[in-house]
Amino acid sequence: MQKSEVIEHFGTVTATAKALGISHVAVSKWAEKIPKGRAYQIEVLTGGKLKAEQTQTAQGIA
């Protein structure tokens, strides 16, 4: 999940932050790839419209 697609979905950095219950500064500090925990939270909040990415590990799918 990319930061730009999340902000596009919610409309603004401020609206994204409000939906997640965090500060707009926290959203602004994200790298382009959303932190895994936040990505799953966003997937739930958007009803699956935005999907958290599954990543491969040496032991299988994380």
| pLDDT tens by residue, 32-47 | 999 899 999 999 999 9
DSSP states of the chain as a string?
-BHHHHHHHHSSHHHHHHHHTS-HHHHHH--SBPPHHHHHHHHHHTTTSS-PPP-EETTEE-
Residue 62 binned pLDDT confidence (cut-offs 50, 70, 90): very low
Distance CA 56, CA 33 (A): 16
Query: Looking at residue 56, which CATH number applies to its domain?
Result: 1.10.260.40
Range of the domain at 40: 3-61
- Number of domain units in the chain: 1
| pLDDT tens by residue, 5-14 | 999 999 999 9
pTM for the whole thing? 0.80
Extract the tokens encoding 3. 């930061």
pLDDT at 52: 92
